[in-house]
Amino acid sequence: MSQSVAADAAEGGTVFAGHAAVAGPRSWQRAFGDLRQGWRQRPLWGYLGWQDIKQRYRRSVLGPLWISISMGVIALAMGVLYAALFKRPVADFLPYLATGLLIWRFIEGCILEGSEVFIANEGLIRFLPAPLSLHVYRLVWRQTLFFLHNLVIWGLLMIIFPQSLGWSLLLAIPAFAVLMINGAWIAIVAGIVATRFRDIPPIIASLTQLLFFMTPIVWSYEILKDNLAERARFVELNPAMHFVEILRQPLLGDAIVWRHWWIAGAITAVGCAAALICLRQYRSRVAYWV
Amino acid sequence: MVSIDISGACVDFPIFDAKTRSLKKAVLGRAGGKIGTDSKVPIIEALRDITISLRQGDRVALVGHNGAGKSTLLRLMSGIYEPTRGRAVVSGKVAPVFDLAVGMDPEISGLDNILIRGLFLGMTRKQMESRISDIAEFTELGDYLSMPLRTYSTGMRVRLALGVVTSIDPEILLLDEGIGAVDAEFLAKARCRLTELVERSGILVFASHSDEFLAELCDTAIWMDHGTVREHGPLREVLHHYKGRDVLAELERR
């Protein structure tokens, strides 16, 4: 049995000394404790997340504005091209594609960086005691900041091509919260497995690429249904689709399809359970594996 | 109450070489059964059956040859490694000072690095901000603090790291060697601050090869040998047995 000291360091006291001493390294108490202790170190990962963003654009004149600009350029180019390909009006298709793309960027970032979250922080893990979840929170926070920068593009598009936004726009907030929770569990599960088996990151990278093409972002589910009829339903098996939909529908003022919420909710519950099991079983092993 | 209680603790490192640390091996290995020894991951027993109990006021020197397990024991005490067998219970706010360069980001300014390192060592943002002028004075870096760390020389980096580390209030201070590369004048100043820091802390564990430094800061010693505790007792005796001569007496004669 042992007790992670980092938490107490953050607390500036010995708050958990008593009951953590009772629990073994593989216990629910320690798994939840890790998440709690990491959460308590908000100032640290909050600051680190900001630094990550600022650092990427250090010495550039426009700085983080480049995140928005590069997103805007890609969305514009793809939007115009695919609108012509699918013979759809640009005023509809461009906001559709841009919104889907910025949601996808968040999902993709959480998956790709999540699988390397502990490997990338090897130095910190081996030299400074800190809860594992600290690195995960930092990652999700950084991706959230990226997302907020990209959201500027959505705002511009809503001004140029007004959509019928209603109160359902408020649903975007819980939808994004669901995405953040999923980003966290994916990072925990993929991060731990990838630290042990180093073949996982390239596998995940190629699967994510595949997932992008399988998700209705540059194409739309409705068109596919017209072309393929019943067989189009296979797309529903793609979990990423439901997560894109729950956030895209309120952002575009489309009718809310509750089926996506149910499926996303179920995936969230299963994923969180998997993350907790991983944390319980292998949390104490990550420092040995990195 | 500040304390470290380790009983029967072992630290075993699995060594995954490129072949064993792959999914292929795990999947195929399971399907095909054991293939001699290479289906098993080789293990390095870095620490074996360690039993140590430290209390408030203990000033412990950690001696032993390279690879004897000194650094691993310090990391066990810091909570970075949890024992694979046995138990380790540490209560208190721990400040590990192992590698001064880790956690330092070359692209951001000295001030930001001070803040981040401080937060990692368990200080709050407010506490660190109130200590920045003190750190600036000690490190003598002045305006350089707002420059990115990559413009610093090695010696300046060590100054910065030492400045942060010696400004905190730890309950358990774990020091690993590697405090060098600073000019002599600064080292004298650093010693002063280090001594003050040790006085503020509840427990000190210090791994070093410098007898002089150990004699100055510690009163007891642990002699590590091949991952086990060979001897734990008063500094003078342990150093005598370890070196085969009465080192402290020699130092006193000087």
Q: What are phi and psi of B121, to 5 degrees?
A: -85, 10
pLDDT the model gives residue B249:
81
Closest residue in chain A to residue B86, using alpha carbons only: A1
Mean model confidence pLDDT for chain A: 87
Least CB-CB distance to B96: which of A17, A25, A128?
A128
pLDDT the model gives residue A204:
96
Name which residue leads in pLDDT, B100 or A116: A116
CA proximity to B204, closest of B190, B219, B193, B223: B219
d(C-alpha B230, C-alpha B222), whole Å: 8
Of all residues in chain B, what percent carry a pLDDT higher than 90?
Answer: 20
User: At residue B131, does pLDDT exceed 50?
Assistant: yes
d(C-alpha B101, C-alpha B115), whole Å: 15
pLDDT the model gives residue B40:
66
d(C-alpha B101, C-alpha A254), whole Å: 52
C-alpha pair distances (Å), B71 with each of A13, A29, A36, A38, B178:
25, 28, 28, 25, 11
Average pLDDT over residues B113-118: 88
Q: How many CB pairs under 8 A join A and B?
A: 127
A127 neighbors B98 (Cβ within 8 angstroms): yes
Average pLDDT over residues A207-225: 89
Q: What are phi and psi of A117, to 5 degrees?
A: -65, -40
pLDDT the model gives residue A222:
79
pLDDT the model gives residue B194:
79
Q: Cβ separation of B108 and A47 shorter than 8 Å?
A: no
Q: Which residues pair with B177 in a beta bridge?
A: none
pLDDT the model gives residue A18:
37
Least CB-CB distance to B91: which of A14, A196, A199?
A14
- Nearest 10 degrees: CA dihedral of B146, B148, B149, B152? -80
Quick one: pLDDT band at residue A62, thresholds 50, 70, 90?
confident
pLDDT the model gives residue A75:
92
The answer, for A281 touching chain B at a CB cutoff of 8 Å, is: no
A2: DSSP letter: B
User: At residue B27, does pLDDT exceed 70?
Assistant: no
pLDDT the model gives residue A188:
97
Q: What is the DSSP string of chain B?
A: --EEEEEEEEEEEE---TTTTSHHHHHHHHHH---TTTTS--EEEEEEEEEEEEETT-EEEEE--TTSSHHHHHHHHHTSSPPSEEEEEEES-EEEE--TTTT--TTSBHHHHHHHHHHHTT--HHHHHHHHHHHHHHHT-GGGGGSBGGGS-HHHHHHHHHHHHTTS--SEEEEES---SS-HHHHHHHHHHHHHHHHHSSEEEEE-S-HHHHHHH-SEEEEEETTEEEEEEEHHHHHHHHHSS-HHHHHHH-
A255: DSSP letter: P
- Shortest CA gap B186–chain A (Å): 25
Q: Tell me the residue type at A134.
A: L
Least CB-CB distance to A47: which of B9, B14, B116?
B116
Name which residue leads in pLDDT, A99 or A86: A99
- Shortest CA gap A149–chain B (Å): 22
- All residues of chain B having their beta carbon less than 8 Å from the beta carbon of residue A204 are none
Least CB-CB distance to B108: which of A55, A124, A289?
A55
> Is the pTM here over 0.80, yes or no?
yes
Residues 85-124 of B with CB under 8 A from A: 87-96, 98-99, 102-103, 105, 107-108, 112, 115-116, 119-122, 124
- Shortest CA gap B252–chain A (Å): 36
d(C-alpha B97, C-alpha B104), whole Å: 13
pLDDT the model gives residue A201:
94
Burial code of A161-183, b = ≥16 C-beta within 10 A, e = fewer?
bebeeeebeebbeebbebbbbbb
User: At residue A39, does pLDDT exceed 80?
Assistant: yes
Question: Mean pLDDT lowest for which of A240-249, B24-33, B183-192?
Answer: B24-33
pLDDT digits over A170-209, tens only?
Answer: 999 999 999 999 999 999 999 999 999 999 999 999 999 9
User: At residue B115, does pLDDT exceed 60?
Assistant: yes
Mean model confidence pLDDT for chain B: 82
- All residues of chain B having their beta carbon less than 8 Å from the beta carbon of residue A128 are 80, 96, 102-103, 120-121
pLDDT digits over B162-208, tens only?
Answer: 888 888 888 898 888 765 445 667 777 777 887 888 888 889 998 88
Of all residues in chain B, what percent carry a pLDDT higher than 70?
Answer: 88
pLDDT the model gives residue B25:
58
Quick one: pLDDT band at residue B23, thresholds 50, 70, 90?
low
Quick one: pLDDT band at residue B28, thresholds 50, 70, 90?
low
Q: Cβ separation of A197 and B119 shorter than 8 Å?
A: no
pLDDT the model gives residue B144:
86
A137 neighbors A38 (Cβ within 8 angstroms): yes
Average pLDDT over residues B127-155: 87
pLDDT the model gives residue A228:
78
Quick one: pLDDT band at residue A164, thresholds 50, 70, 90?
confident
Quote the crossing angle between the two packed helices A172-196 and A90-114, to the nearest 10°.
40
- Structural tokens at position B166: 């010696």
Q: What ipTM does this complex have?
A: 0.83
Q: How many CA atoms lie within 13 A of B215 on its CB side?
A: 14
pLDDT the model gives residue A132:
93
- Structural tokens at position B27: 């999947």
Of all residues in chain A, what percent carry a pLDDT higher than 70?
Answer: 92
Quick one: pLDDT band at residue A14, thresholds 50, 70, 90?
very low
Quick one: pLDDT band at residue A8, thresholds 50, 70, 90?
very low
pLDDT the model gives residue B120:
86
CA B245 to mean position of chain CA atoms: 27
Helix (H) or strand (E) holding A4: none
User: At residue A52, does pLDDT exceed 60?
Assistant: yes
User: At residue A15, does pLDDT exceed 50?
Assistant: no
Q: Cβ separation of A9 and B94 shorter than 8 Å?
A: yes
pLDDT the model gives residue A80:
92
CA B239 to mean position of chain CA atoms: 20
Least CB-CB distance to A5: which of B94, B112, B119?
B94
Q: Cβ separation of B82 and A21 shorter than 8 Å?
A: no
CA proximity to A149, closest of A230, A49, A283: A49
A4 contacts: CB under 8 Å, gap ≥ 6: A20, A30, A33, A34, A37, A129, A131, B79, B82
d(C-alpha A109, C-alpha A113), whole Å: 6
User: At residue B143, does pLDDT exceed 50?
Assistant: yes
**A98's torsion region: left (phi>0), alpha (psi -120 to 50) or beta?**
alpha
User: At residue A10, does pLDDT exceed 60?
Assistant: no
